[in-house]
Amino acid sequence: MATAPTLKMTAEIAQQIRQHGAETYPHECCGALLGRDGADGDVATAGGVQLPLREVKGLYPLTNRREDSPHNRFSVTAEDVRDAEKAAREKKLEVVGWYHSHPDHPARPSEYDREHAWPWYSYVIVSVANGKPAEMTSWRLSDDRSEYACEEIAIRDRAAKL
Ligand SMILES: [Zn+2]
């Protein structure tokens, strides 16, 4: 049976991503998602189906270095990757993805986003309309780069048990 990837995060982390998008508006915000990947056997059961589980445990906000067009060009540099991986290691986590905002645009990946994505990582996009955070989605590029598919975001209550 086909399994759909799911990205899990607390309401608090979801709020931090939205907040970052509101703060940098009308420019894009971006950052790294630090967490754990379900490849080690963690699964979530939904409707009797076991789903690979990836969980975001923290964020590493980045500075959008695209000075030329900071409102619609999200890019992660090699230096960003190194810094984010270092921050993750210090928390005994790994970089499981990246997030950025779409000021006054829907939470859908642009052609640019798809072309600059790497397989495996989760790409969270939050739409910020008139300075207010709106829809949030997550995407994953297939290993052969042919498909950029939406993955479900499961937001769990902060008080819920891990
Ligand atoms: Zn984008």
Dist. CA 114 → ligand 1 center (Å): 8
Per-residue pLDDT of the chain (162 residues; tens, 9 = 90+): 445 678 999 999 999 999 999 999 999 999 999 999 875 555 656 556 555 689 999 999 998 665 555 555 667 888 899 999 999 999 999 999 999 999 999 999 998 899 889 999 999 999 999 999 999 999 999 888 888 999 999 998 755 444
Q: Which two tokens stand for residue 121?
A: 């990582």
d(CA 138, CA 121): 10
Closest to 71 in 3D by CA, of 96, 102, 99, 43:
102
d(CA 76, CA 64): 8
Dist. CA 109 → ligand 1 center (Å): 5
Residue type, 67: E
62 burial (CB, 10 Å; 0-12 / 13-18 / 19+) is buried
Give all domains of the chain, ordered by start, each with its CATH number. Answer: 6-156 (3.40.140.10)
E strands within 4-93? 6-10, 30-36, 43-46, 49-62
Q: For tokens 């940098």, what's the residue?
A: 24
The predicted model scores a pTM of 0.85
Dist. CA 101 → ligand 1 center (Å): 7
Dist. CA 158 → ligand 1 center (Å): 28
